[in-house]
Amino acid sequence: MKVTLQVLFVCLTAGIFLISSCEKTVDTPDQVIVPEGITEFVDDFETESNDLSLLFPPDGSRWTTLQLINTAGGNNQLALTAERVSLGNQSLSISSFGGNNPLSKTDIERGGFAAVAGQTITIEADFYIDSDANLRDLLLLDLECCSCWDPTVPDNKCPGVRLLMSGGNDFLSIERGKIGGETLLQTSLPFPRREWVHVVWEMTLSPDETTGHNRLIINEQEVVTETGMNMPDATILANAAAAEGISFTLPEPVFYERLQIGVTANPRDLEVDLFVDNVRVQVRD
């Protein structure tokens, strides 16, 4: 029997709903068809005007989804701006109010990847944080696998790895909680404020602690270089689910199909103003 998984993202900005779907065809709960994925993606947020919708063309060649979730009393905003740029004439401007009811999110998403174990993925971007606020638990970038969630278990969790502010209020680290791993912390370089910061995140993908490799570079300074899992593992997810009385089977093969960048989560009750520019992604064998 064929089962179709569909994840809908409904986003509201300037009174417009943007809806996108991520659909995979599954023969059994533990078998996933791996699509042909893009191996390179570059975007500097350049358009002929400051019309945000131009980042989402019908052919899917640029960004595929806008995610804007306001917490109670929040007024999150995304826009293209020439006010502050790292490359070219425009950048993505984000104003995000914090909160957990629901969890505040203000970001854009690029789908269409199919990065599997053994491949190396490199994600680069420039960030400008125009704030002195405590940024603890702020998430800037997610790499996720929606297809590797058991379709018999409701509420798709999209396991993956993320870049998280931790270790105080401004140390960018690699967060692995959604795949059952500990955060790869660094406290050697506080994230600079009110200046453009170039971030490079490189991973050799693996669900195994001994064969996965993780590097995080901030302004050409390597702050994390550690061996460790960075993909979902069937046993770890099954054990975590069993602890909650749930039977879980990891659909395989596992592949990362989307990234989200911006304020992918802002749980603290603080406003963050952020600019993003010069995004680069490469997947290679």
pLDDT tens digit sequence for 25-52 = 334 444 567 778 999 999 999 998 899 9
Return the higher-pLDDT residue of 16 and 71: 71
pLDDT tens-digit readout, 56-100:
999 999 999 999 999 988 899 999 999 999 999 999 999 999 999
**Token pair in block for residue 9:** 């993202």
Q: What is the mean pLDDT of residues 254-274?
A: 95
For range 192-212, the mean pLDDT:
97
User: Partners of 111 in the beta sheet?
Assistant: 258
Cα→Cα distances 257→22, 39, 145, Å = 9, 11, 6
Whether the CB-CB separation of 274 and 262 falls below 8 Å is answered with yes
Tokens 């570079």 map to which residue? 217
Task: Tokens for 106, please give them.
Answer: 């203000």
Residue 73: the pLDDT is 83
- CA-to-CA separations, 100 to 80, 137, 267, in angstroms, rounded: 26, 12, 5
pTM of the model: 0.88
Mean pLDDT of 202-229: 98
Question: Tell me, what's the pLDDT at 6?
Answer: 28
What single letter denotes the amino acid at residue 187?
T
Check pLDDT > 80 for residue 284: yes
Place of tokens 């050409």: 220
Give the model's pLDDT for residue 81: 97
**d(C-alpha 114, C-alpha 237), whole Å:** 20
The count of C-alpha atoms lying within 13 angstroms of the C-alpha of 202, restricted to the half-sphere facing its C-beta, is 12
Contact at 8 Å (CB) between 109 and 43?
Answer: no
Residue 150 contacts by C-beta under 8 Å, 6 or more apart in sequence? 29, 248, 249, 250, 251
Please list the residues that pair with 197 across neighbouring strands.
127
pLDDT at 32: 66
Residues 6+ apart with CB under 8 A from 178: 144, 157, 158, 159, 160, 161, 162
pLDDT of residue 31: 58
Beta strands in 171-231 (DSSP E): 171-175, 197-204, 213-218, 221-227
